[in-house]
């Protein structure tokens, strides 16, 4: 029996999943963040050891490969022994905003690094810290956690490195980056899932892992969640009906359009493209409890179109599929019956979803063939029927939605990132 371990460092905590060669889950672990955590390095380290310790011993001995995902654009600086020289900057930290003007003079227009939360903007902010003189390496969260396991410094993957400016098409850092003269080691970038090194012998011995257990290059949490869905061919998509509406579509063609916040991650020789709208479950939650959503949904006839035409938002502004920072929420007229109101909301969100996929297609992405659904709204069959009227392709439940599971598939080598052009052409037939 050879097992694989996927570890997810997400926004609310760390999760681990051990799978067998058929993709079956044999063990799952969790370690939640404490509210008000200040020392993230200590917290992550404790979480990593806690997850390893939670795996039943019989399975630990059978694990052959391990992969880790982290939140995108969470970065830290370390000295040349891998010790952090200051606090990490988390994914949603926007202090990099101060660097945007400087960056915009160097970076090609509309590049993904031109965002206050990008790794590169954060790095420029960190360059002003007194502790920067001690820094030798810039690492992403997943890179540093991987280092704790395999002991190699300065290694990353092309999912984490995208928002550092790494050119995922040419597989090299771009020339314009040199103009920034960053005086430290940027990570060497590998394809996600590629073996990086063996688990350090002292860790293998302490936790009872087998010798020669391999740690492979990681990924980001949202890509890991996509991988968990089971989508793998061009035209397959995952809609996440969580607090916001997030679309991800596999395509043979790379598309980028900063106006709509659209960019593409590399996935072997395919591209994972997508966009996110501010509409979604957060608006439903504002008006209804989860129980009410279940109860009222049963009163809706989803085969009939609602005549209510809303743009459900909690505050003005959306980017995808309508790029308008001033776009006003449209939630009127409000019918007397709450289930009629809910019908209008679900119907309007289905239209926004459909318009999103249409926009991706118009920008050059492959046409939709299947949609897997994840997030809190995925279980709502009334909504699925409404969505079906607009989307006109099979809508399936994601096989799994846990990023840790997607990362375990990556560790197992189940995600074929090295597909040949021939393979991809075959899938078109
Ligand atoms: P997050 O993006 O916060 O991780 P989740 O995937 O956990 O979100 O989904 C939570 C959202 O799902 C909430 O905003 C809630 O309103 C919505 N939701 C929960 N149950 C239902 C339901 N039966 N139908 C539609 N939406 C639902």
92, 10 Cβ separation under 8 angstroms:
no
Q: Is 314 in the pocket of ligand 1 (CB under 6 A)?
A: no
Q: Is 10 in the pocket of ligand 1 (CB under 6 A)?
A: no
Q: Is 224 in the pocket of ligand 1 (CB under 6 A)?
A: no
Q: Is 281 in the pocket of ligand 1 (CB under 6 A)?
A: yes
CA of 242 to the centre of ligand 1 (A): 5
Q: Is 293 in the pocket of ligand 1 (CB under 6 A)?
A: yes
283, 313 Cβ separation under 8 angstroms:
yes
Taking CA atoms only, the protein residue closest to ligand 1 atom 24 is 377
51, 7 Cβ separation under 8 angstroms:
yes
Structure tokens at 284: 């439903």
Predicted local confidence at residue 398, as pLDDT: 85
CA of 401 to the centre of ligand 1 (A): 13
Q: Is 230 in the pocket of ligand 1 (CB under 6 A)?
A: no
Please give the angle made by the CA atoms of 219, 221 and 222, to the nearest 5 degrees.
105
Q: What is the ipTM of this complex?
A: 0.97
Predicted local confidence at residue 397, as pLDDT: 85
CA of 380 to the centre of ligand 1 (A): 10
Measure the CA–CA gap between 213 and 202, rounded to whole angstroms.
Answer: 12
Mean pLDDT of each 10-residue bin along the chain, 429 residues long: 94 95 97 92 98 97 98 97 98 95 94 93 97 98 98 98 97 96 96 97 97 96 93 95 95 92 94 96 97 98 98 96 96 98 98 98 97 94 98 92 96 72 43
Q: Which atom of ligand 1 is nearest to the CA of 401?
A: 6
297, 344 Cβ separation under 8 angstroms:
no
Taking CA atoms only, the protein residue closest to ligand 1 atom 21 is 377
Q: Is 282 in the pocket of ligand 1 (CB under 6 A)?
A: yes
Q: Is 284 in the pocket of ligand 1 (CB under 6 A)?
A: yes
Taking CA atoms only, the protein residue closest to ligand 1 atom 9 is 376
Token pair 């980056």: residue: 177
Query: What DSSP line would sit under 187-238, residue for residue?
Result: PEEE-TT-EEEEPPHHHHHHHTPPTTPEEE--EEHHHHHHHHTT--STTEEE
Structure tokens at 317: 């502004």
CA of 376 to the centre of ligand 1 (A): 3
179, 164 Cβ separation under 8 angstroms:
no
Predicted local confidence at residue 415, as pLDDT: 79
Measure the CA–CA gap between 102 and 31, rounded to whole angstroms.
Answer: 39
Q: Which of 9, 10, 32, 29 is nearest to 19 (CA)?
A: 29
Please give the angle made by the CA atoms of 182, 183 and 187, to the nearest 5 degrees.
75
**Other beta carbons within 10 Å of 39:** 10
Query: What DSSP line would sit under 408-423, residue for residue?
Result: HHHHHT-S-TT--HHH
418, 30 Cβ separation under 8 angstroms:
no
Handedness of CA 297, 302, 306, 311 (dihedral sign): positive
Q: Which of 192, 143, 186, 137 is nearest to 166 (CA)?
A: 186
Q: Is 242 in the pocket of ligand 1 (CB under 6 A)?
A: yes
Q: Is 312 in the pocket of ligand 1 (CB under 6 A)?
A: no
**Best mutation site among 281, 298, 398, 402 for ligand 1, i.e. most ligand atoms within 8 A of its Cβ?**
281
Measure the CA–CA gap between 9 and 37, rounded to whole angstroms.
Answer: 15
Measure the CA–CA gap between 224 and 162, rounded to whole angstroms.
Answer: 15
B/e letters for 267-295, b = 16+ CB within 10 Å, e = fewer, are: bbebbbbbbbbbbbbebbeebbeeeebee
B/e letters for 162-190, b = 16+ CB within 10 Å, e = fewer, are: bbbbbbbeeeebbeebeebeeebebbebb
208 dihedral zone (left: phi>0; alpha: psi -120 to 50; beta): left
Q: Which atom of ligand 1 is nearest to the CA of 285?
A: 16
Q: Is 345 in the pocket of ligand 1 (CB under 6 A)?
A: no
140, 156 Cβ separation under 8 angstroms:
yes
């Amino acid at each position: 029996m050879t097992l694989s371990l996927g570890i997810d460092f997400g926004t609310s905590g760390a999760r681990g999943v051990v799978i067998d060669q058929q993709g079956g889950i044999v063990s799952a672990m969790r370690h939640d963040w404490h509210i008000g955590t200040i020392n993230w390095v200590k917290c992550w380290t404790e979480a990593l050891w806690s997850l390893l310790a939670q795996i039943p011993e019989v399975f630990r001995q059978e694990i052959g490969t391990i992969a880790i995902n982290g939140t995108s654009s969470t970065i830290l600086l370390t000295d040349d022994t891998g010790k952090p020289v200051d606090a990490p900057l988390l994914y949603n930290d926007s202090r990099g905003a101060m660097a945007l003007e400087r960056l915009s003079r160097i970076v090609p227009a509309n590049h993904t690094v031109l965002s206050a939360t990008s790794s590169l903007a954060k790095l420029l902010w960190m360059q002003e810290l007194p502790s920067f003189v001690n820094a030798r390496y810039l690492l992403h969260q997943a890179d540093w956690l991987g280092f704790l396991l395999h002991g190699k410094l300065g290694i990353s993957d092309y999912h984490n490195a995208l928002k550092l400016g790494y050119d995922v098409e040419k597989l090299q850092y771009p020339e314009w980056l040199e103009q920034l003269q960053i005086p430290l080691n940027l990570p060497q970038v590998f394809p996600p899932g590629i073996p990086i090194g063996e688990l350090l012998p002292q860790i293998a011995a302490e936790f009872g892992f087998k010798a020669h257990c391999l740690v492979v290059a990681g990924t980001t949490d949202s890509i890991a969640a996509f991988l968990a869905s089971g989508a793998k061919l061009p035209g397959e998509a995952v809609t996440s009906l969580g607090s916001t509406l997030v679309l991800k579509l596999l395509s043979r063609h790379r598309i980028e359009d900063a106006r709509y916040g659209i960019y593409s991650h590399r996935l072997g020789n395919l591209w994972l493209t997508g966009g996110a709208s501010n509409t979604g479950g957060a608006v439903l939650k504002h008006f209804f409890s989860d129980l009410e959503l279940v109860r009222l949904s049963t009163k809706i006839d989803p085969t009939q179109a609602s005549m209510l035409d809303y743009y459900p938002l909690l505050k003005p502004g959306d980017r995808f599929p309508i790029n308008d920072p001033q776009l006003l929420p449209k939630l009127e007229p409000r019918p007397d019956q709450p289930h009629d109101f809910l019908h209008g909301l679900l119907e309007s969100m289905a239209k926004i979803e459909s318009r999103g996929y249409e926009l991706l297609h118009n920008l050059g992405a492959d046409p939709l063939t299947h949609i897997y659904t994840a997030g809190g709204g995925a279980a709502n069959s009334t909504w699925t029927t409404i969505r079906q009227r607009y989307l006109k392709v099979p809508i399936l439940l994601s096989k799994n939605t846990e990023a840790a599971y997607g990362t375990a598939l990556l560790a197992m080598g189940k995600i074929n990132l090295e597909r040949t052009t021939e393979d991809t052409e075959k899938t078109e037939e």
